[in-house]
């Protein structure tokens, strides 16, 4: 059984992934925040912006699923620390610890300024929609470097939105069900011929903005389609016109959105 490190293990995406992969791999979990581990899981608290911590958590694993980082549009300082410094530390620690396989959770926001009337594939030029998107482009470029220069096996997943069901009309196009997430990640861990690949992390949505044929080439067969939820959003009012035109949505027009990983303010009601 392979030992797989999941960074950012306290986050929503990792929480779904842990549940779906339970028993299939030995899961080593890491995050700045403490979490309650389940049977068969190992947890190491770490800050990936510190190289010593990155070296500690990556030692002795067969593959890394790098989900850790600042997950939304926001100020440059925390994005830089988590998504630039932290991402570099994970790739470099993997190289030093001789971990061959790295799965990097990039994002739809790396290409968020493509219009919604365009269907794009994994070969398009990057068009990030904010500082967060730029940080994901950095991770993609870093993965390319480590694949070409050091022979690392790198699997880039441009993830849409992972949830049990879509949250709004926009996400009908980029919804990613937990079981489809687990299937795509498992391909990234186990496929024998991966050198450097870019795939889109979405389910088999009829409204998809992405040609995900590269994932299909590797064996991805999504089980879910957002169309069954389409009626839930028939009466949704349109938002900002620029956001409505582009795949990245509101990230194309705002400077910051609430960080889901931020600690609650003391005394503030939830």
Active-site residue 132, yes or no?
yes
Going by the DSSP 8-state scheme, the letter that residue 84 receives in this structure is I
Query: Three-state SS for 227?
Result: helix
Q: Given 132, 146, 155, 220, which residue is catalytic?
A: 132
- CB proximity list for 182: less than 8 A, separation 6 or greater: 16, 17, 20, 21
Torsion of CA 133, 134, 135, 137, to 10 degrees: 90
Q: Which tokens sit at 167?
A: 């949250």
Contact call for residues 164 and 175 (beta carbons, < 8 A): no
What is d(CA 223, CA 229) in angstroms, rounded to the nearest whole number? 15
Q: Please, what is the end-to-end C-alpha distance for the chain in angstroms?
A: 41
Sheet strands (E) in the chain: 3-7, 26-31, 41-45, 63-66, 101-107, 153-159, 161-162, 175-176, 196-201
Active-site residues, by number, are 132
């Amino acid at each position: 059984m392979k030992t797989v490190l999941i960074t950012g293990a306290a986050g929503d995406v990792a929480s779904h992934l842990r549940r779906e992969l339970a028993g299939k791999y030995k899961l080593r979990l890491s995050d700045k925040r403490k979490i309650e581990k389940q049977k068969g899981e190992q947890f190491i608290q770490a800050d990936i912006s510190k190289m010593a911590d990155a070296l500690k958590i990556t030692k002795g694993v067969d593959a890394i699923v790098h989900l850790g980082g600042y997950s939304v549009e926001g100020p440059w300082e925390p994005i830089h620390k988590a998504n630039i410094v932290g991402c570099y530390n994970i790739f470099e620690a993997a190289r030093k610890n001789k971990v061959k396989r790295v799965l990097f959770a990039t994002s739809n926001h790396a290409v968020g300024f493509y219009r919604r009337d365009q269907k794009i594939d994994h070969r398009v030029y990057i068009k990030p929609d904010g500082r967060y998107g730029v940080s994901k482009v950095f991770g993609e470029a870093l993965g390319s470097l480590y694949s070409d220069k050091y022979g690392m096996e790198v699997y880039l997943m441009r993830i849409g939105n992972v949830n049990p069901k879509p949250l709004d009309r926009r996400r009908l196009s980029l919804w990613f069900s937990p079981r489809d997430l687990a299937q795509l990640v498992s391909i990234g861990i186990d496929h024998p011929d991966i050198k450097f690949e870019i795939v889109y992390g979405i389910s088999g949505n009829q409204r998809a903005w992405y040609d995900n044929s590269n994932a299909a080439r590797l064996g991805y067969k999504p089980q879910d389609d957002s169309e069954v939820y389409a009626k839930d959003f028939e009466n949704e009012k349109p938002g900002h016109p620029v956001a409505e035109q582009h795949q990245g949505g509101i990230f194309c027009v705002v400077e910051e959105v609430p960080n889901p990983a931020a600690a609650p303010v003391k005394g503030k009601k939830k």
